[in-house]
């Protein structure tokens, strides 16, 4: 028996994150991934402000096939929520793929990030758990930590997939997402974790200080090393540029 939340029926818990909990939910024949803000954060201005960004993106962001799209946003009993499309399929944490498929996946993620950047936003949390392989498309999900291009502030994101400027609390740029895309690609090809060191502070230190081992494919490694430059001034500047480099390599 599912619980109700406003007009939605909550069927099963999908995930619990820093901002809220995500439920598989339905209303009539409509199925959604419904995210509702944690009750304790609903009483904190900072939590409300960040969740409002996700609600805004869900309701105003133009659709793109590689970006999760929102169905609606609102509030039930003073608890904000956002209902997003539910993308059926595994995320990258559950998959091992050959090199050519890894490149295809990251090209699609680059397209998603490019779309967000074109609307003035940095995703800020591109990681294997937020890239879902649907039946007919690859989808970047979870806009919960997104912020405007050029904005700084609190340290947010998945620790081992942050860019150095995220760790330092500096302004995010398009190149911030490029760094995360580079990590995802390196890990898919290498079959190993790059900056994960267990405790968050050790992972974040590795992001800032640790070198990136070379990949066997020299041409691919050159692309990845540019994407993972610690100095964003030396980094591949945009997801669009990274996607173009990978497409040229794959052709």
pLDDT tens digits for 132-152?
A: 999 899 999 999 899 999 998
Domain edge (last residue) among 50, 69, 85: 85
Q: Is there a single domain that holds both residue 110 and residue 190?
A: yes
Domain that residue 24 falls in: 3-85
In sequence order, the 6+-apart residues with CB closer than 8 A to the CB of 93 are 128, 129
Q: What number of CA atoms fall less than 13 Å from residue 212's CA on the CB side? A: 23
Model confidence pLDDT, tens digit, residues 62-82: 999 999 999 999 999 989 999
Candidates 166, 160, 156; CA nearest to 127 is 160
Rounded Cα gap, residues 122 and 204, in angstroms: 19
Q: Is there a single domain that holds both residue 100 and residue 219?
A: yes
pLDDT value at position 154?
A: 85
CATH number at residue 72: 3.30.200.20
Encoded tokens for 223:
């692309």
Q: Is there a single domain that holds both residue 146 and residue 209?
A: yes
Based on the structure, what is the number of domains in the chain? Answer: 2
Domain edge (last residue) among 56, 85, 114: 85
Q: Is there a single domain that holds both residue 47 and residue 156?
A: no
Q: Is 125 marked active-site?
A: yes
Q: Is there a single domain that holds both residue 123 and residue 205?
A: yes
pLDDT value at position 210?
A: 97
Domain edge (last residue) among 85, 119, 145: 85
Q: Is there a single domain that holds both residue 137 and residue 77?
A: no
Q: Is there a single domain that holds both residue 122 and residue 165?
A: yes
| Total-model pTM | 0.94
Greatest alpha-carbon pair distance for the chain in Å reads: 56
pLDDT lower than 50: segments of the chain: none
Q: Is there a single domain that holds both residue 130 and residue 9?
A: no
What's the DSSP call for residue 161? G
The one catalytic residue among 111, 125, 142, 177: 125
């Amino acid at each position: 028996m599912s619980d109700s939340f406003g007009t939605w029926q909550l069927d099963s818990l999908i995930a619990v994150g820093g901002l809220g909990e995500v439920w598989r939910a339905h209303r009539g024949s409509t199925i959604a991934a419904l995210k509702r803000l944690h009750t304790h954060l609903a009483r904190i201005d900072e939590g409300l402000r960040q969740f409002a960004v996700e609600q805004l993106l869900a309701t105003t962001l133009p659709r793109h096939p590689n970006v999760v799209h929102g169905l609606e946003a609102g509030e039930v009993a003073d608890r904000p929520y956002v209902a997003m499309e539910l993308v059926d399929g595994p995320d990258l944490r559950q998959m091992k793929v050959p090199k050519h498929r890894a490149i295809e996946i990251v090209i699609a993620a680059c397209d998603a990030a490019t779309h967000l950047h074109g609307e003035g936003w940095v995703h800020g949390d591109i990681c294997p758990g937020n890239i879902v392989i649907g039946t007919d498309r690859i989808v970047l999900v979870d806009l919960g930590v997104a912020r405007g291009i050029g904005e700084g502030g609190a340290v947010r994101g998945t620790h081992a997939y942050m860019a150095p400027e995220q760790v330092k609390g500096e302004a995010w740029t398009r190149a911030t997402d490029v760094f995360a895309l580079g990590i995802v690609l390196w890990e898919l090809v290498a079959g190993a974790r790059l900056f994960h060191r267990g405790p968050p502070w050790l992972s974040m230190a590795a992001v800032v200080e640790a070198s990136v081992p070379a990949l066997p494919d020299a041409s691919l490694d050159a692309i990845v090393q540019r994407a993972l430059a610690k100095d964003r001034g030396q980094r591949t500047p945009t997801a669009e540029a990274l996607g173009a480099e990978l497409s040229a390599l794959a052709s």
